[in-house]
Amino acid sequence: MDWIINSFLFVPFAGFVISLLIPQTQEKILSRVAFLTSGTNLLGFLVFGVLWLWNGVPVLNVKDIVLYRTDGYEFLVDVYCDAVTAVYMLVGSFLALIITMYSRTYLHREQGYKRFFNTILLFYFGYTLTIFSGNFETLFIGWEILGLSSFLLIAFYRDRYLPARNAVKVFSVYRIGDVGILLAMWASHHLWHENITFLKLNNYVLVHEHLQSHSAVGAFISLMIVVAAAAKSAQLPFSSWLPRAMEGPTPSSAIFYGSLSVHIGVFLLLRTYPFWEYQSSVRVLIGLLGLSTAVVASMIARVQSSVKSQIGYASIAQIGIIFIEIALGFKVLALVHFASNAFLRTYQLLVSPSVVSYLIREQFYHFVPHEHTVEDRLPRRLEYGFYMLSLKEWNLDTMMSQRLFGTFKRVGHTLDFLTMKNVLLWALPLYLIALVLLFRQPVLPPYIIPYLPVVFSMIGLSMILKAFSEKASPLLCWLLIIMYHSWIALAVAFNEQFGARDVVMYLSGIAIMGTVGYIGLRRLQKEEREHFALDRYFGHSYEHPRFAMVVLLACLGVMGFPITPTFIGEDLVFSHIREEQFLLAFFNAVGFVVGGIAVIRLYARLFLGAHVKTYHEVPYKSA
C-alpha cells in the first residue's frame, strides 16, 4: 500500500505543476485540471478506504525520503495514515471537489482566474501533505504551504487596500503558530535525540519513560503545540484574524476559513494526542481555551453586521467546543464534529450572497419585531457592557496589533540610526570581527564563549526588528534581513556540532535568493524611483507583474519556505541549539517570526494594493 499512499501526495502536486503551465485564457482547462485533481484523489481514496477497512484499519507508516543527514540529525519525509488522516482526507477531497466546481462559473472572466486555481491546488497539496505527515518536519512543510496559500488567497483582490492589509495581518498570526511548531521540534530533538515519528508517539511505554525524567521539557513541547493549534484554528487570543481573512473570494473563504484550513489546529491536537494525553495540566489548558473561545466568539458572532464575519465567528465557537471534546478524550466525537462543522460552514459561505439578498427583501416585505433573548434577562449595565465588548470584538485585534507587533515596531524605531551608510560602516566590520572570534575560539577565555552566541543572536534580532519597522528604504530592509540570517548562522556555529556543511546548507538559499531579490528590487527602484518605499501600498504588480513574481520567489527563499535548502537549515539551526541555551532559542524564534513578517510586509507594500499612479482605475480604500 506504500505506493498508493504516496500517490495521494503526487496527484495534487502534479495538478499544481500542470496548472502553472496552462495559459491564463484557458479557463476551462484550468478548472478541469483542478476538478480532476480533487476528484481523482477522492475516488482513489474511496477505493483505498475499502481495502484499508477490509484489512482491519491498520496504521500505515512510510519512510519516504531522507533529504539531509549528518551525525545525530536526519531530516526525512515520513508519510502516516490512520483514522484521523482518513477522515480529514475524505472531508478535504470532497469539499475541494465542490469548491472547484463552484468556482468554475463564480470566477468566470475574473482577472486572477488562473492565479486562483493555482493557489487552490497549492493549498490542496499542502493540506494533503499536512494530514499525511508522519513527523513534525513533514508536517511543517505542509504547514508552511498552507500559510503561503492563505496569504495569496486573502490578497486575491490585490488592487484593493483591505485585502492586502488583512493578508499581512493573517500571515503575521500564522507566523506565531510556525514558531510554536519550530520550538516544539527543537525541544523534541533534545527529548528523543532523534526526529521522532508520530508512529512512535503511539508507544505509551516509550513516551512515559521519557516524560518521567524530562517532565518540564514535555510540558514545554505540549504548550508549544497548543500555541500552534490555537493560532491556526483562531482560538483566543488569536481569534481576530479569521473574519479579516474573509476578504478573499467566497470559494476560498469556504474552503479555508469555514472548513479545512481552520481545522488544522484540531488535527495537530489529535495527531499529538498520545504525547500529552497524560499531562493533566495541558488537558485543562486546552479545555479552558476552548471554553473561553466558544463563549467569547458566540457573543461576537451575535452582533456582526457582515454575514461572512458572523459565519467565521460561529465556526470559531464550534472549534472551541471541539477543543473541549479533545481535552476530555472524545476523539471520535471531535472527528464527527469536525466533519459536520466543515460541511455546514462551507454550505453557509457558498450560499451567503443569495441569503443576504433574500434577507434584504424580507426586511422590506415581512418585518418581524425584535424578540426577547437570553441576554435581556441580564442587568442592563452588564448586557450593554457585553454588547459593546462584542462590537469591539473584545479588542483582540487591537491587542495583537498594538501590544505585540506594536512593541516590535517601537523597539525597531529605536534603531533608526541603522541607515544604509551606518550598516556598511560598522555592521559589516563587526561581523568580520565576530568571524575572527569564531575561528580563534581556543585563545578566548572559556567563560566568555557561552555568552557569545546569545550576544550575536541579539545583534541579529536587532537588525530584523529594524527591518520590520523600516519605512523609507526597501533595499535597507532587505539587506538587514540577509544580515540577520548571517548573524544567526554565526551564533549557532559556536556550538561544536554545527559545522561548515550545516552553515552552507542554511545560508546557500539565503545567498542565492537574497541576491535575486536585491537585483529585482534594484531594477524596480530604477523603474519607479519616486514610488519606492515602505510607507504605503504601491501596487506595482499592476505594471510590473514579472518583478512581483521574482521578488515573491526571493521572499519565499529568504523566509525559509520549502523551495531552498534554507528550510532544512532552519530546522538544523534549532536542532543544534543546546537544551540549556534557552535564550538563544528564544531570540531565534522571535527573529523567525518578525523576519517572516518583515519579508511579506516588504512584498505587500511594494506590489499589492491600489496602484499609486492615478491614471489607472483605483478602487475605494474600503472596497
**pLDDT score of 409 more than 70:** yes
At 619, the pLDDT band (50, 70, 90 cuts) reads: low
pTM score, two decimals?
Answer: 0.92
Q: Which three cell numbers stand for residue 545?
A: 507583474
What pLDDT does residue 566 have?
A: 86
Contact 45, 93 (CB under 8 A): yes
Based on its alpha-carbon atoms, the radius of gyration of the chain, rounded to whole angstroms, reads: 25
Cα separation, 248 vs 107, whole angstroms: 12
Kindly report, residue by residue over 303-343, the tens digit of the pLDDT.
887 888 888 899 999 999 999 999 999 999 999 999 999 99
DSSP 67: E
What pLDDT does residue 616 have?
A: 64
Cα separation, 249 vs 153, whole angstroms: 8
Neighbouring CB atoms inside 10 A of 348's CB total 18
Kindly report, residue by residue over 191-232, the tens digit of the pLDDT.
887 778 888 888 888 888 878 877 888 899 999 999 999 999
What pLDDT does residue 367 have?
A: 64
**pLDDT score of 357 more than 70:** no
**pLDDT score of 623 more than 60:** no
Kindly report, residue by residue over 561-576, the tens digit of the pLDDT.
888 888 888 888 888 8
Kindly report, residue by residue over 255-278, the tens digit of the pLDDT.
877 788 899 999 999 999 998 888
**pLDDT score of 536 more than 50:** yes
Cis peptide before 562 (omega within 30 of 0): no
% of residues, the chain, pLDDT over 90: 35
Nearby residues of 366 by Cβ (< 8 Å), 6 or more positions away = none
Cα separation, 525 vs 477, whole angstroms: 14
Cα separation, 194 vs 179, whole angstroms: 19
Contact 246, 308 (CB under 8 A): yes
**pLDDT score of 363 more than 80:** no
At 432, the pLDDT band (50, 70, 90 cuts) reads: confident
Kindly report, residue by residue over 451-489, the tens digit of the pLDDT.
888 888 999 999 999 999 998 899 999 999 999 999 998
User: Of residues 410 and 616, which shows the higher confidence score?
Assistant: 410
Residue 153 Cα distances to 104, 116, 538, angstroms: 16, 7, 19
Cα separation, 33 vs 22, whole angstroms: 10
What pLDDT does residue 429 have?
A: 84
